[in-house]
């Protein structure tokens, strides 16, 4: 639950998954959040809320954040765990929006977001379009790319502490169905029972896959289908939860 309740604004605590960066933000009603279908926001399934002023965002623990520029916006994320925190004006650093997924004790799946395009006119040149037989995927900057040689029959969402922050939507094909082309910017993050390695791009923060260390699952890979170019995952059944 929120920490304190005021007359018009509520204090929410937030943090990246690894806890290196912590903050408190004052926000109005979370029923008035927004999403965006641009090539970056859709990959990270951002849910945006706008603080009334810069003073409404207070850093509690200042771990370093990386910047990734998209249009005139600077997206800030944790370089260790990949959690996206903020969107700022790249010119002056003013906070535009906070990623609701980074808030503690808030269920993002229970919120309703209004589609509000961010205004970035982007047609990324690095997108390799998918075909019926080959699904091409990449992080936003294109530093990580792969091809999936089969079509997912179902997806799985998960409300665990990292998946809900990352906004991922998983499919679990055999590793043999995936050809990795580039992964020089890959950052691997592991926690908890250390049986799953989460991979994201250290340049643009997009989460691309997860690898399993348990022998019985090692033949399978978890792919974030939001990174697949031109793939309409909305028409595929979401079985929910984690396998």
pLDDT at residue number 8: 81
pLDDT tens profile 1-47 = 444 444 588 999 999 999 999 999 999 878 789 999 899 999 999 99
Averaged pLDDT, 153-177? 94
In this structure, are residues 25 and 14 in contact, taking their beta carbons and an 8 Å threshold? yes
Encoded tokens for 105? 């004790």
In the chain, pLDDT over 90 holds for what percent of residues?
A: 72
The structural domains of the chain, ordered by start, are 4-115 (2.170.150.70), 135-238 (2.170.150.70)
At 164, give phi and psi (nearest 5°). Answer: -70, -35
Give the H/E segment covering residue 42. Answer: helix 41-44
Residue 72 CA to residue 179 CA, distance in Å, equals: 33
Residue 113 CA to residue 117 CA, distance in Å, equals: 12
pTM greater than 0.75: yes
Could you tell me which of 189, 154, 160 has the C-alpha nearest to residue 173? 154
pLDDT tens profile 86-100 = 999 999 999 999 999
Residue 122 confidence class, pLDDT cut points 50, 70, 90 = low
């Amino acid at each position: 639950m929120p920490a304190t309740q005021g007359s018009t604004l509520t204090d929410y605590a937030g943090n990246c998954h690894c806890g290196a960066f912590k903050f408190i933000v004052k926000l109005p009603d979370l029923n008035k959040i927004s999403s965006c279908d641009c090539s970056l926001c859709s990959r990270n399934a951002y849910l945006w809320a706008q603080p009334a002023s810069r003073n409404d965002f207070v850093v509690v623990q200042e771990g370093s954040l990386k910047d990734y520029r998209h249009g005139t916006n600077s997206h800030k994320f944790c370089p260790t765990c990949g959690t996206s925190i903020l969107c700022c004006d790249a010119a002056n650093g003013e906070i535009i929006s906070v990623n609701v997924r980074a808030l503690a004790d808030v269920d993002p799946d229970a919120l309703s977001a209004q589609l509000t395009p961010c205004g970035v006119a982007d047609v990324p040149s690095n997108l390799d379009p998918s075909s019926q037989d080959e699904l091409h995927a990449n992080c936003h900057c294109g530093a990580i790319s792969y091809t999936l040689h089969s079509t997912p029959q179902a997806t799985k969402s998960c409300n665990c502490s990292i998946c809900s922050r990352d906004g991922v939507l998983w499919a679990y094909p055999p590793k043999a169905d995936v050809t990795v082309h580039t992964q020089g910017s890959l950052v691997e993050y592991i926690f908890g029972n250390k049986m799953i390695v989460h991979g994201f791009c250290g340049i643009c923060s997009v989460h691309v896959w997860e690898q399993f260390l348990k022998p019985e699952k090692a033949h399978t890979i978890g792919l974030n289908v939001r990174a697949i170019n031109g793939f309409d995952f909305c028409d595929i059944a979401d079985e929910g939860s984690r396998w």
